Amino acid sequence: MSQDNPDYAALTDAAAALVDLPIAPEYRAKVIENVARSHAIARPLLALDLDDGLETGPTFRSEGP
C-alpha cells in the first residue's frame, strides 16, 4: 500500500475493527467509497507543509445571550 494509492478496503476494515464498528456487507462498498472520497478531499490539506513554529490562535468564547 502506497500513500498515492492506499488500500481503502483494508483501511476501512482496520478502522472499523479498531472501534468495534460492524459494517453490514450491503453497505461496505459505499463506506469504502466514502473513505476514498474523504481522503481525496483532505489530500491537499495533508500535503500542506506547516512551520513547526506556528502557534494556535486564541479561542473565541461567546459571552452568551
* Tens of pLDDT, residues 5-47: 899 999 999 999 999 999 999 999 999 999 999 999 999 998 9
Domain boundaries, the chain: 8-47
Return the pLDDT at 1.
Answer: 54
Let me know: does 8 contact 36? Beta carbons within 8 Å.
yes
Which tens digits make up the pLDDT trace of 29-38? 999 999 999 9
Whole-prediction pTM value?
Answer: 0.68
Let me know: does 39 contact 12? Beta carbons within 8 Å.
no
Q: Which of 8, 1, 9, 2 is nearest to 39 (CA)?
A: 8
**Size (the chain), residues:** 65
CA distance 34 to 26: 14
